[in-house]
């Protein structure tokens, strides 16, 4: 395989480990835990894996370890650092007993069900250390939900002598890991299941999980691109750039990129919902900033938009919730074409929601009614919110021009940054964090744990001071409506409007709107001073102050 000079140099980087993981460990147990909500329902569904304690690893005494085989799955969308989780797990397993083996199931959970796998070797692993992407074994979105899948999985796990399965994924994937752990525990199959927190969206975090891996690298990648656009914007001085960013369910990426680049406008979906803003309110907010800057002779600027924004506008959120239920019905699923589906929707939603549906631009309404993801939900990433908003801002400004309240020029450019950040070579933070998560997972397995997520804490400190351990996945779960039914799922973490990162942003955004105060972060740096190369996100540093 031909490699660039950067790849060759980067392969030699040795990720840093927490001091507690640099030798033998012992597990220190905390108190029994409970789920974040719906405790009785979650406990009844997960009787074998509910209520377990949070654990922390400390330095221990060396003890012989029997060899044990481990399987690993990459699940869901890619995130920078996945290869380092695997290399950390590989090194951790081999450090306990060189005879142990690590197997990777190909193309996600489907590889487990279909018995497609590869055995890792030193040479194989070394090709992927400190690289981006999930191409070492591929990923997939097959959901592990059915007993038939679990039983098919146990066949290959037994055939390969696998003691434990590590699932690297986001909230849905780790919900599946929790269900699988409970099933195998209930059946007394003797197979452990461990999760690792992955998602660039940043919405898999809580009191125990400081951040999901990949968020740091993705935000730094997007911020470099935003900074480049802002430099161009400040040079040409004739365009407003509407930039949509990943983040369907939460606005963590938009907020972090705003903290890194200081745009003129950054919308936070959670605030839009909290203030009960209408689509027109959002448009008016942006248009007012455009007009104010034009009055100062600045007919240019940048607007950051979370991809899930439209779903947080209360009237549209209410509409989407009913659409999700209506379109999940068997008769809706059987409709032959788009016209029939739209007609069915109009005939089966409430009067208030129908009024909202009819008020939307035709193309947006059609996307809400037709395009669903594998979970049965609207595919908001397909809705070109950046173009919708700039189109509506232009119309608003045209109205203001007629009455003389606006005299500037408005010309828009559009961008959507998504795939650009998912497979970037991991930053030093993500390289170290992911390697530690994988290495730590080997210790959870050796300690006999199942239904746990690997966690690394205190990550604003130097890596040697990071704290390693595990948290029961059931602790993060609650009941939510999915496809018209109540299901146990890991609760997503939204941007906290009373949290330090948002407060820092809110205190400065009016000045950023009026003045041109852009920051140009530049590309990710891998070698150099620690303050340049090893820093975590601004979000995390503000949260831990």
Query: Annotated catalytic sites, by residue?
Result: 201
- Cα separations (Å) of 165 from 68, 256, 260? 11, 33, 37
In angstroms, the CA 446 to CA 66 distance is 9
Residues 82 and 88: their CA atoms lie apart, in Å, by: 10
Helices 351-359 and 314-326, packing angle to 10 deg: 110
Which residue is it, tokens 């037994």? Answer: 158
CA–CA separation, 451 and 203 (whole Å): 20
Q: Contacts for 405-408 with beta carbons within 8 Å, 24 or more apart?
A: 405/291, 406/291, 406/294, 407/294, 407/295, 408/290, 408/291, 408/293, 408/294, 408/295, 408/299
DSSP for 321-350? HHHHHHTTSHHHHT--SHHHHHHHHHHHS-
- Identify the CA nearest to 355 among candidates 388, 393, 316, 387: 316
CB atoms within 10 A of CB 135: 14
Of the candidates 543, 541, 540, 536, which has an alpha carbon nearest to the alpha carbon of residue 427?
Answer: 536
* Main-chain dihedrals φ then ψ at residue 304, nearest 5 degrees: -100, 135
Cβ neighbors of 410 (< 8 A, separation 6 or more) are 240, 290, 294, 299, 393, 394, 397
Q: Is 207 exposed, middle or buried (0-12, 13-18, 19+ CB in 10 A)?
A: exposed
Short-list 507, 77, 39, CA closest to 249: 77
Residue that has been written with the tokens 């209506």 in this structure: 326
Structure-token match 């983040």, residue found: 247
CA angle 457, 460, 464 (to 5 degrees): 70
For the sheet containing 301-306, what is the strand order? 265-266, 301-306, 240-245, 412-417
Sequence-ordered list of residues with C-beta below 8 angstroms from that of 180, at least 6 positions apart, any chain? 144, 150, 153, 165, 167, 193
Residue 287 CA to chain centroid, in angstroms?
30
Determine the Cα–Cα distance for residues 16 and 18; give it in Å rounded to an integer: 7
- Residues paired with 103 in a beta bridge: 71, 119
Angle between helix axes 428-446 and 215-236 (nearest 10 degrees) is 170
Distance CA 207, CA 195 (A): 17
What is the widest separation between alpha-carbon atoms in the chain?
82
């Amino acid at each position: 395989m031909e490699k660039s000079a950067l790849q060759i140099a980067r392969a030699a980087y040795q990720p840093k480990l927490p001091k507690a993981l640099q030798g033998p460990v012992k597990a220190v147990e905390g108190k029994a835990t409970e789920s974040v909500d719906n405790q009785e329902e979650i406990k009844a569904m997960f009787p074998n894996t509910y209520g377990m304690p949070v654990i922390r690893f400390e330095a221990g005494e060396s003890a012989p370890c029997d060899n044990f085989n481990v399987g690993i799955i990459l699940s869901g969308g890619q995130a920078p650092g996945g290869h380092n989780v695997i290399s950390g797990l590989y090194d951790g397993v081999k450090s306990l007993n060189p005879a142990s083996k690590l197997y990777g199931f190909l193309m996600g959970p489907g590889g487990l069900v279909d018995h497609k796998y590869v055995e890792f070797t030193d040479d194989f692993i070394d090709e992927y250390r400190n690289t981006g992407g999930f191409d070492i074994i591929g990923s997939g979105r097959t959901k592990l939900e059915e007993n038939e899948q679990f039983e098919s999985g146990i066949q290959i796990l037994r055939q390969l002598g696998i003691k434990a399965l590590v699932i690297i994924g986001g909230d849905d994937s780790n919900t599946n890991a929790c269900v699988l752990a409970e099933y195998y525990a209930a059946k007394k199959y003797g197979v452990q299941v461990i999760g690792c927190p992955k998602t660039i969206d940043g919405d898999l975090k809580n009191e125990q999980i400081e951040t999901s891996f990949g968020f740091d690298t993705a935000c730094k990648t997007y911020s470099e691109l935003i900074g480049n656009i802002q430099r161009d914007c400040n040079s040409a001085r004739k365009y407003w750039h509407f930039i949509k960013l990943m983040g369907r369910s939460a606005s963590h990426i938009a907020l972090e990129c705003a903290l890194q680049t200081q745009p003129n406008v950054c919308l936070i979906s959670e605030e839009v919902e909290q203030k009960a803003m209408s689509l027109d309110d959002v448009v008016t907010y942006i248009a007012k900033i455009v007009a104010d800057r034009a009055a100062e002779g600045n007919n240019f600027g940048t607007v950051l938009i979370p991809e899930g924004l439209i779903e947080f506008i209360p009237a549209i959120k209410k509409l989407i919730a009913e659409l999700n239920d209506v379109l999940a019905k068997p008769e809706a699923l059987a409709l032959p074409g788009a016209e029939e589906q739209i007609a069915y929707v109009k005939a089966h939603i409430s009067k208030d929601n129908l009024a909202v549906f009819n008020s939307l631009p035709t193309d947006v309404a059609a996307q809400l009614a037709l395009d669903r993801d594998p979970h049965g939900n609207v595919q908001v990433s397909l809705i070109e919110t950046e173009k919708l908003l700039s189109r509506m801002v232009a119309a608003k400004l045209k109205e203001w021009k007629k009455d003389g309240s606006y005299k500037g020029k408005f010309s828009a450019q559009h961008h959507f940054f998504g795939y650009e950040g998912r497979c970037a070579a991991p930053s030093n933070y993500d390289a170290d964090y992911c390697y530690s998560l994988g290495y730590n997972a080997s210790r959870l397995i050796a300690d006999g744990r199942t239904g746990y997520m690997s966690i690394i804490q205190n990550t604003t400190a130097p890596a040697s001071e990071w704290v390693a351990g595990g948290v029961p996945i059931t602790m993060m779960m609650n009941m939510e409506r999915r496809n018209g039914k109540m299901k146990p799922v890991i609760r997503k973490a939204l941007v906290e409007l009373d949290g330090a990162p948002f407060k820092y942003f809110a205190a400065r955004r009016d000045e950023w709107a009026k003045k041109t105060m852009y920051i140009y972060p530049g590309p990710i740096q891998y070698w150099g001073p620690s303050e340049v190369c090893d820093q975590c996100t601004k979000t995390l540093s503000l949260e831990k102050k």
